[in-house]
Amino acid sequence: MATRLAAIGGLELAQLEAARQLRERGHRIQLLYTEDGDLSERWQRTVDQRIRVRGYALFRGAPVRSAAAVAGVVAGIRRLGPDAVYVHHQHHAPSAALAGRPVVCHLHLPPAPKRSLQDELALRRCRRLIAVSRFTASQWSETLGIPLERFAVVANGVDATRFSPADMATRERVRAELGLPVDRFLVVFAGRVDPDKGLDRALETIGRLGGTEYHLAIAGEANPGSFHGDAAAARAYAEGLRTRYADAAVTWLGRLPDTSALLAAGDVVILPSRFPDPLPLIVLETLASGTPIVASAVGGIPEMLTGSLAANLVASGDPEEFAERLRALRTWRTDHPELGLAGREHVERSYSWDRMGDQVARVIEEAAAGDARA
């Protein structure tokens, strides 16, 4: 079950890859979704059948319409008769739970600040629960009041063939093509332009470093979903940052359909998240690209940056501490080239898509066989 088939963030990409992994392991997949998007063609190649629905949960503002949508989903699931229903968002759980089939919910996000009784009741009825990190499992365990043992922790993976290191000539070519300086230490921010992802912190950080040696490249756009669906507010936030930091050493690239070349061309990636990021894919994509990442020590990020990689965690979130870490990495390519290799090996060892696929398939097959792990 999915909503819009678009590459909005890591959740949507992870959901598509999970489906592909399940198909490779012999599972037949019938997809319920609400809207088409830029991933529709890839979904079409992955699933056996696509069925468009109108929604998955009840809404007070539209009780009749939302109830009809839920009833349609329940009827559709019963007609299809799947061995298990696999959902990736707590808002999908209510209609899935009413259909009478084993439900596995893969939780990529933290509990919402405003609790939803229908979501929580539905999640408690799920046969199995998956969380992308131990941190996220603990959050949901506390919210739902159910034992942590009910959760399987399955981290997302990354395509290590698509995200891979680049040599100097390739890095310089990519920078030139994107209009980025080739003679500066290039710091990359790739993600949503919103307060949660902390882009303002990245801009503050680059301001403290000065513009003669360091440059910030920003790949991303404002997401209305981060502003309660208000597209005007999202645009205003992004424009406000552009105005406030007009003199900073920064290039705004907008949304790139593929960030793999940029991540490999950068000297370091910065992720100054404010919110408890459960398991941001940008961390894995960066490490697979042979590039260090300096990130906030929040959510599931400390579970990802372990061992020697933990040196680049910033506990305070203070831009000056981020700046200190970037200064320390200024000459890593010549003085400590093993940093890139260490990140790459970490991803290959612990975050492959194959590993994720095996774990998800096992949980779904156990749920279909009646294992609730209560």
CA 132-135-140 angle, to 5 degrees, is 80
User: What's the pLDDT score for residue 335?
Assistant: 95
Number of neighbours of residue 320 by Cβ within 10 angstroms = 11
Report phi then psi at 43, rounded to 5.
-65, -40
Residue 272 and residue 218 share a domain: yes
In a domain, 2, yes or no: no
8 Å CB contact between 181 and 174:
no
Task: For tokens 């230490």, name the residue.
Answer: 185
Instruction: Read off the tokens for 281.
Output: 């894919």
Residue 362 and residue 345 share a domain: no
Residue 268 and residue 360 share a domain: no
Q: Any residues with CB less than 8 A from the CB of 183 and at least 6 apart, and which? A: none
User: What's the pLDDT score for residue 348?
Assistant: 95
Residue 53 and residue 32 share a domain: yes
Residue 324 and residue 177 share a domain: yes
In a 10 Å sphere around its CB, with 0-12 CB exposed, 13-18 middle and 19+ buried, how is residue 105 labelled?
buried
Residue range of the domain that includes 147: 10-157+353-368
In a domain, 115, yes or no: yes
In a domain, 316, yes or no: yes
User: What's the pLDDT score for residue 60?
Assistant: 86
Residue 62 and residue 179 share a domain: no
Q: What is the mean pLDDT of the chain?
A: 94
Task: Kindly report, residue by residue over 52-105, the tens digit of the pLDDT.
Answer: 999 998 888 899 999 999 999 999 999 999 999 999 999 999 999 999 999 999
Q: What end-to-end distance do the CA atoms of the chain give, in Å?
A: 24
Task: Kindly report, residue by residue over 193-232, the tens digit of the pLDDT.
Answer: 999 999 999 999 999 997 789 999 999 998 887 888 899 9
Number of structural domains the chain divides into: 2
User: What's the pLDDT score for residue 101?
Assistant: 95
Residue 300 and residue 189 share a domain: yes
DSSP structure class, residue 90: G
Residue 83 and residue 174 share a domain: no
User: What's the pLDDT score for residue 359?
Assistant: 97
Where are the alpha helices (H) located in the chain, listed in sequence order?
10-24, 40-46, 63-80, 93-98, 117-125, 134-144, 168-177, 199-209, 231-244, 260-265, 281-288, 301-304, 319-328, 332-335, 338-350, 353-368
Q: Distance of alpha carbon 125 from its chain centroid, rounded?
A: 25
Instruction: Read off the tokens for 145.
Output: 């009041």
In a domain, 374, yes or no: no
Looking only at the bridges linking them, the beta strands covering 128-131 and 151-153 are: parallel
Give the integer Cα–Cα distance in Å for 221 and 234. Answer: 9
CATH of the domain at 222: 3.40.50.2000
In a domain, 220, yes or no: yes
Residue 335 and residue 196 share a domain: yes
Residue 227 and residue 124 share a domain: no
Residue 221 and residue 183 share a domain: yes
User: What's the pLDDT score for residue 56?
Assistant: 92
Residue 288 and residue 217 share a domain: yes
Tens digit of each residue's pLDDT, the chain (374 residues):
999 999 877 889 899 999 999 999 999 999 999 999 999 999 999 999 999 999 998 888 899 999 999 999 999 999 999 999 999 999 999 999 999 999 999 999 999 888 889 999 999 999 999 999 999 999 999 999 999 988 999 999 999 999 999 999 999 999 999 999 999 999 999 998 999 999 999 999 999 997 789 999 999 998 887 888 899 999 999 999 999 999 999 999 999 989 999 999 999 999 999 999 999 999 999 999 999 999 999 999 999 999 999 999 999 899 999 999 999 999 999 999 999 999 999 999 999 999 999 999 999 999 999 876 64
Give the integer Cα–Cα distance in Å for 264 and 162. Answer: 11
Rounded to 5, what percent of the chain is helix, strand, coil? 50, 15, 40
In a domain, 194, yes or no: yes
User: What's the pLDDT score for residue 372?
Assistant: 67
Looking only at the bridges linking them, the beta strands covering 49-52 and 85-87 are: unpaired
Give the integer Cα–Cα distance in Å for 252 and 255. Answer: 9
